[in-house]
């Protein structure tokens, strides 16, 4: 059965997409640690990081870097967490490799906060704009 991320990539489930390449897909987390929390996933579904081909791993890391640069610009902070939970003991819940890129600000605690109405689309737009500007 396809992962929830594969279903999102295939358009079966909605998302706020910020980046799509030949090999990767990035979208806002619906239960974010902070505004702008973005997931970057390979389109090819694999359960763990070590199962990626070297080419897919390299391409994924480049996409993560692009998203991190755009995200910090769009969100107005140079600070972010970059996380990969690999395996159950590491906290992986969806067994489709994915990186979390989570913007951070001085003095703000790590809390999961839902987006206010319309805010997710605004944040997604800002990140896409930053990506387009390079």
Which positions are annotated as active-site residues? 98
Provide φ and ψ at 93, rounded to 5°: -110, -30
| Residue closest to 64 by CA, chosen among 112, 111, 106, 97 | 97
Closest to 67 measured CA to CA, from 113, 19, 106, 111: 19
């Amino acid at each position: 059965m396809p992962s929830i991320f594969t279903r999102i990539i295939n358009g079966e489930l909605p998302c706020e997409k910020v980046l799509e390449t030949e090999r990767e897909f990035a979208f806002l987390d619906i239960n974010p640690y902070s505004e702008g929390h973005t997931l970057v996933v390979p389109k090819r579904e694999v359960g763990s990081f070590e199962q990626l081909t070297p080419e897919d791993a390299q391409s994924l890391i480049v996409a993560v870097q692009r998203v991190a640069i755009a995200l910090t610009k769009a969100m107005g902070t140079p600070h972010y967490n970059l996380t990969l939970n690999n395996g159950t003991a590491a906290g992986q819940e969806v067994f489709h490799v994915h990186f979390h890129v989570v913007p951070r600000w001085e003095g703000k605690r790590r809390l999961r906060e839902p987006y206010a109405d319309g805010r997710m689309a605004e944040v997604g737009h800002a990140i896409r704009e930053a990506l387009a500007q390079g």
